[in-house]
Chain A
Amino acid sequence: MTSLALKSLWARKVRAMTTAFAVVIGVAFIAGSYILSDTIFAAFDEIFSESLSGTSVVITAKNPVEQDNGEVPTISASLLQQVQKTPGVKLAAGAIFTPGGFFDSKGEKIGSKFAPKFISSTLPGKLEALKYIEGHRPRGPTEASIDKAAAEASHLELGEDIELIGQGSAKKFQLVGFTQLGSASFGGTSIAQVTLPVAQALTHKVGRFDQISVAAVDGVSPALLKRRIAAEMPSGVRVETGTESADRASEEIRDNLSFLQTFLLVFGFIAVFVGSFLIFNTFSITVAQRVTEFGMLRTLGASRRQILSTVLSEAVAIGLFGALVGIAGGFLIALLLNALLEAFGVDLPTTSLVMESRTIVVSLLVGVVVTFVSSLIPALRSTRVPPIAALNAFVPTPSRRRRLIYAGFSILLGVAGLAMAVAGLVGGGGAGTRAGLIGAGALVSVIAVSLFSPRLVPPLATVAGWPLERLRRLTGRLARENAQRNPSRTAVTAAALMIGLALVTFVTVFAAGLKSSVATVVDENFAGGLVIQNSDGFSPIPNGTATAARKVPGVESVATIRSAQAKVVGSGAGARVTAPTPNIGESLNIEWKQGGPEALRGLGDGQAILSDSFASSNGLEAGDSFRLLTQTSKRPSFEVTGVFDSKLNVLGSVLITQPVLARDFSQTQDTIDFVTTESGADAATVQAILTKGVEVAFPTAEVLNQEELKESREEQVNTLVNLFYALLALAIVISLFGIANTLALSIHERTRELGMLRAIGMSRRQVRTMIRYEAVITALIGAILGMILGVVFAALIAQPLKDEGFTLSYPIVSLVALLVLAGLAGVLAAILPARRASRLDVLESLQYE
């Protein structure tokens, strides 16, 4: 019977191909996500081990709390002499490796927007990891080198001037060399090298090092040397062998980027889920079309079991084939995904593509299991075909009772799905469990709606078909009737599109809410005036920006905010610590829950003001005390003197003074500056002068007015939303294939009917229109259901975020546009089936059995 399965599969190659295609796309996306993330990890491994290849021991500061911008604490330069005295040390040198900004002579940014850029110092001898492939190492105070990739991307030539900016104002350097590190591509990451004293001055780390690199004399093992040095070092300093250091760096990167892998895989599984609808539908339809064949097999003595195994063998063969092609396609998807991420400014290092055996195993499993499960119900249905079906076409239709059971079951399932989502939203448990519950709830709800949707198809088709019937009476009418003819078939086809559209709608509605909430906060809580921030929107701005701004005529005062990440001692909960200048109340309208403006003005050493969400989640109120673990391993204690409304998230969760932030957190850079203009001054003029002054000296900073600030925040949301759209496009493409496939199969069933229509005078064009409209109606049904689901879920998830100042807004225009796009997508899906239907030979169709 298995060979019969393969033969009948071969006889229906095209059908099998379309079904396999659904598997191919989903599996390719999953494989591609794995391949890309594995490749990125491998590239980082390569970069780290390469950069430490000549280094036996590395000395750095311990880093108990990770910072947003990846900055790590420094160590004192005085440690170097101690290290150099340790027996077994052949060579030891301090180094700087600090995030910064690079600009070409025209002031244009070098490298992509979000990719990290580092200012590093040259190292002596074999401690130097960078290879100079052109020019020479920087020797003097005005010489610098840059990596070859960045030089090529920005068309830089040796001898040209570039500007580097660390923590002070930008400095001009002459390019004297191009560098390279190993064989991995850095992606958008870029390294500029200067001499050690210059690097220290640029990054305001005079007398400090980010790292001391040590080479051992021959015969002394790195492990031994590490023990000897460690014995000499004070606490708060970490001593590692070169290998350990590279491994730790790789591990940290893996932790930081594992979200990327998960993120991409989620979209892969969405694609697979959508594909399973296509597989289910194709099998359902082909089983229905093959009842005569199954009846014939039964009359020849085939058992139900044999029929079942025939259909399931076909499914497994398709799944296996699809998975194998999908794995190969994974390479292509990996490249496409990388290009996509790059286009969105996420430019990560890569090396030659990595295929782990895990990727192959997961891909094969997903391909086979999904096809098997999706074909199970149609396969079971095929066993209900009685032998008599060989003689007269018997169509097994579900009984009324069975349909009622389906409907009842789907309603129960829907309630269960919503309950799970709500439990995830309001219930306790870790973020992972809650996200899992919400996701599972959404999945269950989607399945419930798809199960129930056959009952919704007739009314929805009438609604969606109405304009088409008005437009083209007969063809519109027939298209609508055809879509309603087999409601469960149309329902499953539409359900596939529904999933994609539900997600797109969710993202659209949620993003609109996010944008309007940001705008509301800016409108309500920012007292006007100007804002200076890093042009990437999140990194700190160089010291001195505020001082420079205060000197601009027309500026009355400048309030600054600095921030650092810390952990609550005991619970380990994260805290975003923010240190404003005491005059911040002039620029921000703070809503007080406990205490008031006087608490802020009088804030002293050992005192803190909390956001209400931080206060409640940590069980703190005014008068309580708590300790924070800082980046520099200090554990200062704070007494709570006030609580403010947390929707003003620029203030973070814990407010302390700037001197305490500098002393205990070693953070002296501003995150954002608020500029208040004099009452008589023209804001636009002040902004123009500020822009000229600040942006020339500190090219990473930008001066924005309130409107521009809102726009810049909205732009960040938009970038993310567009990335989501691009990734969700895949799920939608699969569902369009589903529409095309169902149409093709339905047309096949209606061949004689089409022949008759053509014989009595229907033109090819009319046939095409009819098919196209059927696709449009199916697509619109999916779109309507999907948009309702998407809006419901956005509204649900927005509920608990109300306290954070998140308000939902419904982007009607976008939603209508989405509906129109869905209809157009239906037109697209119908191109091939419509063409095929219109080209059917009238005579052959009429004689078609």
Chain B
Amino acid sequence: MSLNGQVVVATDVTRRYGVGDAAVNALAGISTAFERDRFTAIMGPSGSGKSTLMHILAGLDKPTSGTVELDGVEITALDDGELTKLRRDKLGFVFQFFNLLPVLTAEENLVLPLSIAGRKPDQAWVDQLVRTVNLEDRRTHRPSELSGGQQQRVAVARALVSKPAVVFADEPTGNLDSKSSAGVLDLLRQAVDEFGQTVIMVTHDPAAAAHADRLITLRDGELVHDASPGSADEVIELMKQID
């Protein structure tokens, strides 16, 4: 266990793409930490490095220098097998495109991480998740028979089913209308408040960021702002200043 209930700690993380003159510094040296049971939003203009940061925090990408500690494990040095196990046990993901398997039913998609790990799902917990995402009458439907919002709610439930240390959400509302977006964001909020989950979300939607406890803002690979987000309008104002 890390100190102060910090579940993710990034230290001097840099990420450079390309070599020589053409090299781009996507991350210029970021140090930050994320506490448990908190909902953090990461924002920034295009090319600010927000997605890169999230990918590195989640072990999907490796930093050029610096370290990332996730739930007490230094992850930047892990090999593929160890990372796979880490993702299985400690991470949940929600992607912009719903990324459900079209061949499985809603419930099968929901328990997919457990099936992959070969674990038996806790049926009470699964039932509770199905109730929470309000899909009790859609359990046996295939993704093609669900609306975009419903699909994304399944994806959120899927990220929660293994009770991970951190849930990473990459533009989870990027492909949804405002009503469906609100549903998904409420769900993420609920995950933090009721289930004690830690959520880190990359978004460019100020309304989404307003649901978070904390807002980190990046520009040109540097951390330029770190505070409570306030209302959606305040976030819009903040983003204008940064741009």
Contacts and interface: CB of A to CB of B under 8 A. Distances in A.
A843 B53 CA distance: 13
B103 interface: yes
B231 interface: no
A276 B185 CA distance: 52
Interface string B72-108: 0000000011001101110111010101011110000
Given A753-B99, A756-B95, A846-B99, 14 more contacts: A473-B115, A474-B116, A478-B104, A485-B103, A752-B99, A753-B101, A757-B116, A758-B84, A760-B116, A761-B89, A761-B117, A761-B162, A763-B81, A843-B55
A843 B61 contact: yes
Contact of B113 (A473, A481, A761, A763): A761
Interface string B41-82: 000000000000001000011000000000000000000110
A764 B85 CA distance: 11
Contacts of B85: 761, 763
A482 B87 contact: no
Interface string A809-846: 00000000000000000000000000000000011001
Contact of B116 (A482, A753, A766): A766
A133 interface: no
Contacts of A766: 116
A482 B117 contact: no
B38 interface: no
Contacts of B115: 473-474
B191 interface: no
B72 to A, nearest CB: 19
Contact of A842 (B60, B102, B104, B117): B60
B58 to A, nearest CB: 8
Contacts of B153: none
A404 interface: no
A761 B60 contact: no
B113 A764 contact: no
B102 to A, nearest CB: 7
12 contacts: A474-B112, A481-B103, A752-B97, A752-B99, A759-B60, A760-B88, A761-B84, A761-B87, A762-B116, A763-B85, A764-B81, A842-B60
Contacts of B116: 474, 757, 760-762, 766
B155 to A, nearest CB: 9
Contact of B158 (A484, A760, A842): A760
Contacts, number: 68
A732 to B, nearest CB: 29
Nearest to B58: A759
Given A474-B115, A842-B60, A843-B55, A761 B88 contact: yes
A686 B112 CA distance: 75
Interface string A726-769: 00000000000000000000000000110011111111101000
Contacts of B93: 756, 759-760
Nearest to B52: A843
Interface of B: 55, 60-61, 80-81, 84-85, 87-89, 91-93, 95, 97, 99, 101-104, 112-113, 115-118, 158-159, 162
8 closest Cβ pairs, A-B complex: A761-B88, A481-B103, A756-B99, A474-B115, A843-B60, A761-B87, A763-B84, A760-B113
Interface residues of A, number: 22
Contacts of A474: 112, 115-116, 118
Contacts of A485: 102-103
B101 A478 contact: yes
Contacts of A764: 80-81, 84
Contacts of A484: 103
A762 B113 CA distance: 8
Contacts of A842: 60
Contacts of A846: 60, 95, 99
Nearest to B89: A761
Given A756-B95, A760-B113, A764-B84, A481 B104 contact: yes
Contacts of B88: 760-761
Contacts of A843: 55, 60-61
A485 B142 CA distance: 13
Nearest to B98: A756
A277 B60 CA distance: 39
A479 to B, nearest CB: 10
Q: Which of B80, B85, B93, B116 has the most CB of A within 10 A?
A: B116
B112 A760 contact: yes
A655 to B, nearest CB: 69
Q: Which of B84, B92, B101, B159 has the most CB of A within 10 A?
A: B84
Nearest to B159: A760
Interface string A471-499: 00110001001101100000000000000
A507 B157 CA distance: 55
Nearest to A762: B116
A272 B97 CA distance: 42
B25 to A, nearest CB: 18
Contacts of B101: 478, 481, 753, 756-757
Contacts of B91: 761
Nearest to B115: A474
A637 B111 CA distance: 89
Nearest to B56: A843
Contacts of B84: 758, 761-764
A766 B87 CA distance: 14
A474 B93 CA distance: 19
Contacts of B118: 473-474
A620 to B, nearest CB: 68
A799 B103 CA distance: 46
A752 B101 CA distance: 10
Contacts of A757: 101, 112, 116
A60 B24 CA distance: 92
Interface in A58-83: none
Contacts of B80: 764
A489 B81 CA distance: 33
Contacts of A763: 81, 84-85
Interface in A748-798: 752-753, 756-764, 766
Nearest to A760: B113
A760 B87 contact: yes
A716 B21 CA distance: 74
A759 B168 CA distance: 11
Given A759-B93, A760-B113, A482 B103 contact: yes
Contacts of B103: 478, 481-482, 484-485
Nearest to A842: B60
A482 B113 CA distance: 18
Contacts of A478: 101, 103-104
Nearest to B102: A485
Q: Which of A482, A757, A766, A842 has the most CB of B within 10 A?
A: A842
B16 to A, nearest CB: 16
Nearest to A846: B95
B232 to A, nearest CB: 27
Nearest to B88: A761
B40 to A, nearest CB: 19
Contacts of A481: 101, 103-104
Contacts of B97: 752
B215 to A, nearest CB: 24
B98 to A, nearest CB: 9
Contacts of B159: 760
B99 to A, nearest CB: 4
Contacts of B162: 761
Q: Which of A478, A757, A759, A842 has the most CB of B within 10 A?
A: A759
Nearest to B158: A760
A481 B117 CA distance: 19
Nearest to A759: B93
